[in-house]
Structure 1
Amino acid sequence: MADTYTHKDLATLCGVSETTIKSYRRKFPGFIPVLTRGKPIRFKPEASTICLMIRDCFAKGMSVEETYKVLKENFKEIPAARPRRAQAPSHPTAAPAGVSQEYMEKFFATAGQMMQGMAGLATAQAKAEQRLRKVESVLEKLLELESRNTDTFGRLLEKKETAPEQSSAPEQPVAPKAEPETKMRARKIVNVRSPEGEVQSYSLEKPTELERPSDAFLNTPIVIKNDQDEFLGVPGRLPLSGFVEILAREAEESGVSQTYWHREGDIWIFVMTSPNGESQALYFSSTTTPRGNLVVLLERLDVNGNEASSQFLQEYFRQVKDKI
């Protein structure tokens, strides 16, 4: 349809994500005009100008209230349509004897709110059950692995007890020069001889721990810079650990398969990857504000290996901040 826009069209025009366009609609429902409500939803031509102005206001660091005033001065606000279930019937049902019409309206409104609350509770319960099933599945696998390891070590000990003389004497033919290499690799070699005389070697290695920033770095307040090179933080001086906790919670709900830290010089990078290969990498560094306060700066965001624009980074930071 000519001269109309979908969520994807508006996102491409403004250089933001579709999620950002949807957040514009939630924050300013009376300014982005809808043309058709089929799938996909299409918007009138003037929606592009309105979305661009919202994006520019947010890029300047303006709040939702300040942006609303700007839109009110430049565009006509459309009253938000009420859901059908909230509309009063054209022919109201007569109230029973002794009960006022106002009381009946309040009763039905309260009943509707209770139904909505029960629906939300059912959805939350379903999500909790899904998470519980995942935890139970992981625990079952861990118990199975533990049982296998116990059986394996039990068999190895039985073999050593049945042939004590054979397991101790043949150690001399092994070349002694291999010992320094074993120490260099920080692993332990165990030789086990079976009753038939066959020797088997097992390597016991300790897994390498993943990198992680220090507690001092994680407990430092997080900030970002706007286009005027000014530091913008979070009310309450949210530390980096709290910011990452929000990211990890959102990642779990969206199906992200892995999150981890790694370091490049003085920069710590927090990476989130999805099963379909998509990834996000956030770059953090330690710095000080003009007032001498020590902070952690979110200075870069890579999406699927490509560096995002400063406007996208600021909008990303703002969305995470709104979820506190």
Structure 2
Amino acid sequence: MSQMPLTHKRIARILGVSETTVKSYRRKFPDCIPVASKGKPIQFTDEALEVCRAIRDLFSAGLSIEETHQRLAELFEFIVPPVFEEPEEDNEVVEVVLPDDYKQAMSSLATSMVNLSLKQEQMLKKMSSIESRLQQLGLADVRTSGTTSSDPVLAELRVLTERTEALWDAISCSVSADSTTHSDYTEPSPKLESQVQKAKVHRLVPLREAISHDPPRKILAMPLLIQEREGEYTPLHGRGNSRITLNDLRASLMTHFVEDDCYTIHWSENNSGWQLDLLQERAHVPHNICLTMAQTSTLRGSVMVIKDMTTNGHEITPGALQDFISDVYSR
């Protein structure tokens, strides 16, 4: 034992934390911090100091309470590993009733997809007609690679615009050359060759192939939480103080933000989990949000935990994100 008794106050002074923080360690890990004497004040063993030191370091590294408890069991022999309750399987058929706003959002999405597909089909027919006309004029076949973009849909629309302009310019140059020479076909001019090269692009990718893929359904259906700096999890709440999932957040954004204020949703997968970019590209004052999240297990089951949050490139607090979600549901 140390020469001076190890109390809450002394442990806090040694570790450089507050006395309240040390007491919170005992609440979160009641069977992990050995007590030497239950008098007033309570005194602890030397092992208790080392356990508190480990808890402080693990919380600073971003570990959750469950993960920290598991590591403590690996570091100290007298600590029992945590037991995670497996969810009971229920063979009963449960009827799932979807919210009205979710159904409306899915219906609007399906209608928009059909309209976009019809528009794309019309544009492809026009392009085929122009290509046929070019082939009749003796120009090269238009079937080589084009440019790429981080957003496949925008890239295809940009290529389509350039392709149309280049094809019309090529036709204009050919007609002009025929009217001035009145002779057999000769080598095309440099300007005509340049326009034809611009017109050579890939076949347009169908819209359903160009849209980025979402995470698996089980990921989208998990409750959404925020990881605090001390390792605790804070759930995000929607309408009626109910816990929300990624599906709920996506459906609300699609329903409540339209026209210039609408959000473009882009997913990307990394080594630790998923990154969700909400891009308000056409708004007068854009509000672009980036959420980096990972799947983890708690005593209640699997959840998606938001680890980093930024808006317009600046880090935001959990409270600011909750305010944003509350504003979405209040529209």
TM-score normalised according to structure 1 size: 0.38
Q: Which structure has the higher relative contact order (CA within 8 Å, separation 6+)?
A: 2
Q: Flag the structure with higher strand content.
A: 1
